[in-house]
Every structure is written in C-alpha cells, then in structure tokens.
Chain A
Amino acid sequence: MSLLRLDAVARTYPGERRLFAKAASVRAVDGVSLTVEAGSTLGIVGESGCGKSTLGRLMLGLEPPSEGQVEFDGAAMPAPGTDAWRKLRARMQLVFQDPLGALDRRLTVARQIAEPLVIHGIGDAAARRARVAQLLTDVGLGEDLAARHPHALSGGQRQRAVLARALATDPALLVCDEPVSALDVSIQAQVVNMLVDLQQARGIAMVFISHDLKVVRQVSDSVAVMYLGRIVEQGAADWVLAAPLHPYTRALVSAVPTPGRIARERIVLTGDPPNPAARPSGCAFHPRCPVAVPVCAQQTPPLRAMADGRSVACHLAHPNLDRAA
C-alpha cells in the first residue's frame, strides 16, 4: 500500500475580481493523481506557477483539495486544523527553500529542534536533550552550534538545522520545496548527499520539489513533470529525464546548462509560461509546442500509460489512439 495517494486532486483559487466581469477562478492544481511509496523519492519539476508548491501543500493536508482525495497511510487526510490532522503532522514534515524564514530568529538551534518534540509531547526533558544532540550529529552540525541563533549560522548550516527539526518526530514523509536552491554549488552537494543518506537510513518517503533537473535526477526514484497545474509526464527518473517523451519535458531537459555539452542541441521554446488564469484550450502547452498539430488546440490529452511504464499526456505520444479519434 502506498504511503501517500492523490486521486484526481484539484485546487482552485478565486481569481482577481474585475470591475464589470465575473472573477475567473484559477486552477492551480488540476486533476493530479499520483502515489508515493514508503522509503522512495518522488521528484516534482516544472516552472514558476505550474502548481508544484501548491501540490506539496495538498500532500501535507495544509490545504484541502477543491476536488478529489488525498490519502495518507490508507486513510483520508483530515481537514487542516483538526485534532486528527495535528496528530498526523508529526509523521509529515515540510522543508522550504529559505531556512532563515523557516527558523525563529529568537530561539537557539537546540530549542528549535526540540520544539516539535515539545508540541507532540514526545519524551521528557532529558530524553529531548539526548534526541537533539543525536539529530545535530545526524545532520552534521557540531554541538558547539546548538546554542547559536539562526543569524549566526551560514546558509548551509541553517538548512541542516531545519532538516534536524523536520526529522525530530521521525516522520514517514518529508516534503522538500526547493531545499537546496538558495545554496552555493559546493554546499548544495553537501546537503543533497546528506538528504539521500538520511532518507535511506531512516526509510523516509520524500517528495522533492525543484526547478533544478540535475538535483531532482540525483535524489529521485520517480519524477512528475508539471505544466500549468497538470502532470504532463510521469515515471522512473532514469527514463523520464534520459529519454523524455513529452515535448515540454524534452525542452526542459535540453535547456539544462551542462558544462561540456554543445548548446546548439538545445530546444528553445518561444513565449512565456502561460497565465494560470487564462489557460489555453486543449493541451495547455500547445501555443509553445514545437510539434503541435490541430487536435492539440481542441482536446486536452489525458495522462496515459506507455509500454515502458511511464505516463505521458501528449496526443503525439499516442498517435494511434488520437489520430483515429
């Protein structure tokens, strides 16, 4: 049984009110179904506004879905703010991009890491102290840092402190939203290695949200590529990123700047990422798609399974089905 299951989940926000027009609603996440297995990592990639962060919040029950259902450990996700949801929070944790914003500037590192233990009533004072010392060691922070405040730490040390706090309650699921994007390359590698080690040692399931395909490939077992609230391609990381089938995934993969690769092979998409409030008809990607055909503007391609086990939402990836239709 999967640890986390999303079934046709959608999240709609009320749009901007116009003076004489009805407010159009924005579908930030639209009909997403996916599963996360215990101990495995799902990477979610896409550009700004594609709904990847909203999806992360739906997975943690921080927001209720407008449609569809989220199940954690076989039971429906309780509504946010309820007692049942609070209890579950010890088993699911979130790590953000900006560690300074996630930490309380007035508390020492040790106090911050102990806080979830206090909130969930885990252990007595002595047990908590021992647990905090262990967590600091696990994330590679020296004990001399325990008494410091967040401003006295470097960016990499802060993100380690945030991780130690997230791991304090022994969660089964960790949702990381751009956890290493603000870090320099040499520090990023340290934190990525540590995340992979901790996840394997503890058997945590991880959802890794990032725009950085190289880092996603490094940590993920499977990958979901999002465009304007929908998953356009999903499958094993090695397949999806090595041999992408959806034209959008192809463009994303080819746009990854890699030292030593010839830039001429790059697919440059025209146009900007579209506005979620003005979703194009049919396949939302068709105005920017280099291979679009007339049917793409009329029909939304469903996410369908391919022979190799991945799923792709593109009319051209399933030519026999759609040409006939």
Chain B
Amino acid sequence: MEPLISIRGLTVAFDGVPALRGIDLDVHPGEAVGLVGESGCGKSVTWLAALGLLPARAQVGGSVRLGDQELLGAPAPSLDQVRGGRVAMIFQDPASALNPVIRVGKQVEEALRLHRGLTGGAATAEARRLFEQVGIPDPAGRLRAFAHEMSGGQNQRVMIAMALAGRPDLLIADEPTTALDATIQAQILDLLRRVQQDHGMALVLISHDLGVVADLCSRVGVMYAGRMVEQGKAEQIFQSPAHPYTQGLLAALPDMVGPRRRLEAIQGAVPNPASMPPGCAFAPRCGSAGADCDAGTPALRTVRPGHRAACLRIAA
C-alpha cells in the first residue's frame, strides 16, 4: 500500500543548532502511529516542520510527501489547503488553540467554509452534527458558547470537531490528553479511537506517555535527541523492546500491579543539542555502551520483521 505521507531525511536546525537529525517515517492510510520520547527529542518538531508551522528562522531540510505533493517549500496557499484539510492537528492546550472572543460554533463553521465551502445554515447544521459526533452535550446550545465557558475536556472535543470539519486523511494529535484529568483523558482517548475507526482516518499520536500510545496505536516510533531510535509494531516495542533507551523508558515506569520494585532510572540527562556525543547520542547514559558506540551514529537495523532499532548491540 502507498503511504499517505512519507517523510525522508527530515532535518531541522534552530540558529545552527540541530533539533531534528534525519527522520524517516511513513504513515499509511487508516493506521494509528504513536511517537514517544522525552522533552526536546523532536517528536513535535517533526510534524510542525512537515506542515510548515515552524518560525522562519528554523532551517528545514529533507522531504515530506503527501501523496504526489511535496510539502517542504510548498507555497503558502497550497499549504493552507493541506492544513485543516487533508491533514489536521490538535494540541495539548485546547483553550489557547481556540479564539477566546469568538463563539466555538463560529470557529468550527469557519473551518467548514474554508475546507468544504459550507456557509450559513448548512455550516451551522454540519457544525452541530460534528458536536454531536464528538459527544458534546447539548450541541445546539454549546455552539454559542465561548471557550472559557467550557471545561478542558469539552474544549478538546471542540478541537477534534474542528479537525474533523475538513474531513482529514490524517489527524496529528500532539499530547492531546496531557493537560486533562485521568477520567477525562480516558474519554478523549476513546473518542479519538472511535473517530479514527469511523472515518478510516490515519492518526499520529505524539505523547511522552507510553501508556497512552500503547492504548491507541498499532505502530510506534521512539525518538531520542532528534533521531528515531526504534520503530515497530506496538506489541514489539512494549513487550520486547530492542533499544536500550526504550528498555530504560519502560523500566523507569512504576507498575500498577505486582510487588513494588525499585525503579530503574536512566542515569544522567538528555544531551545538549549544541554539544552532541560523537556517536550514538544515548551512549553516555547507556549501560551496554562501548568504545565502538562513539565511532558513528548507528543506523536502524532490523530486529525482526517490521521491527527496527538503531543500536550496534543488536545482532545483525
């Protein structure tokens, strides 16, 4: 199957300091892909760069193809058609993504006008249907509400309705539940799963929470210091992780069941992007690193079919 979106050798640097150091990633129609990693690993920057949402001082290189269309360097009008149209994005903080002085219904109607040419009564009726679909109680009444009159969970539902307004082929959700309470997080994850299946839409879920990604995604990419260090099916990543960093992340999570054990913390901290280690960026924190790890950046190698990791310790 042809990938929906295909990222090759994507690099981003801010003022000469690299933030993303060569990312390859395909997302196929209808699949749910999770991207995990800690602050600064580049998981959000990847998609901001792909959609041309980074400030002008960012130097972006590589290629991002959506079907036949190259997105990097594409003129603004064609990017405007893609963003909110074929590719929609929702963020961690819905309250700041919504306009505080415009009724939420009007904001959804604006997306409908821009991407589907709906106006007037047709747009209002469709906005109302979208509100119903994302489970907003009293949809007709809530169309007239302002963002500050709604809870964080309801605002995130509005954002999802607005994302669905353009009938996207791909929804990118960047930490969509991080600011929400546990019970509301469960509601939003359920909603995302439902809309993804109902619309046959592809989903990219960016999260620092491995549990959230495990919940929704069939394929997972683990990022560290601007690179993809492991990629595979969700069960491969969570049950038999191959990269020492992925193993470390999973061992650092406390369990909910079984006897309590001391957490296995990863020693040290993420390297400073301005002074990267010579070879593998994880080597200074890695228990199985040796002199060979400093010789060069390891490429992704196949662990088993569909599962790849960038570590020299993996038997080729």
Contacts and interface: CB of A to CB of B under 8 A. Distances in A.
Interface in A59-104: none
B186 A217 contact: no
A215 B249 CA distance: 14
Interface stretch (A124-132, A141-149, A181-189): A181-189
Contacts of B193: 263
Contact of B265 (A193, A254, A259): A193
B181 A211 contact: yes
Interface in B238-286: 238-239, 248-250, 252-257, 260, 262-267, 269-270
Contacts of B263: 189, 192-193, 218
A103 B213 CA distance: 34
Contacts of B212: 257
A113 B84 CA distance: 50
A192 B181 contact: no
A215 B254 contact: yes
A269 B183 contact: yes
Contact of B186 (A184, A213, A266): A266
Nearest to A187: B269
B24 to A, nearest CB: 24
Given A156-B269, A193-B262, A259-B253, A185 B190 contact: no
Nearest to B137: A271
Nearest to A186: B266
Interface string A181-222: 000111111101100100000000000000101110110000
Contact of B211 (A47, A254, A258): A258
A258 B38 CA distance: 17
A283 B257 CA distance: 29
A184 B208 contact: yes
B291 interface: no
Contact of B238 (A154, A213, A259): A259
Given A186-B248, A214-B256, A268-B190, A256 B265 contact: no
Interface in B198-232: 208-216
A253 B239 CA distance: 22
A217 B254 contact: yes
Contacts of B81: none
A71 B151 CA distance: 37
Nearest to A255: B186
B297 interface: no
A308 interface: no
Interface residues of B, number: 44
A202 to B, nearest CB: 18
Nearest to B191: A268
Contacts of B262: 193, 196
A266 to B, nearest CB: 6
A262 to B, nearest CB: 9
Nearest to B239: A260
Nearest to A45: B182
Contacts of B213: 259
A277 interface: no
A217 B260 contact: yes
B197 interface: no
Interface in A18-63: 47-48
A252 interface: yes
Contacts of A196: 262
A273 B183 contact: yes
A3 interface: no
B229 to A, nearest CB: 13
A295 interface: no
B313 to A, nearest CB: 19
A242 interface: yes
B148 to A, nearest CB: 14
B113 to A, nearest CB: 30
A297 interface: no
B102 interface: no
Contacts of A260: 214, 238-239
A268 B214 contact: no
User: For A213, A257, A288, which residue has the most chain B Cβ atoms within 10 angstroms?
Assistant: A257
Interface of A: 47-48, 154, 156, 184-190, 192-193, 196, 211, 213-215, 217-218, 241-242, 251-261, 263, 266-270, 272-273, 288
Given A252-B182, A259-B213, 17 more contacts: A154-B269, A184-B39, A184-B270, A185-B208, A185-B253, A189-B264, A193-B263, A215-B254, A255-B183, A255-B185, A256-B211, A257-B209, A260-B239, A266-B186, A268-B190, A270-B187, A272-B151
27 contacts: A184-B270, A185-B38, A186-B265, A186-B266, A189-B263, A190-B265, A193-B263, A211-B181, A211-B182, A214-B255, A217-B260, A218-B254, A218-B263, A241-B256, A251-B183, A255-B182, A257-B212, A257-B215, A258-B211, A259-B238, A260-B239, A261-B214, A266-B190, A268-B186, A272-B184, A273-B151, A273-B181
Interface of B: 38-39, 151, 153-154, 181-187, 189-190, 193, 208-216, 238-239, 248-250, 252-257, 260, 262-267, 269-270
What 7 pairs between A and B have smallest CB-CB spacing?
A257-B211, A189-B252, A189-B265, A186-B266, A47-B181, A184-B38, A218-B254
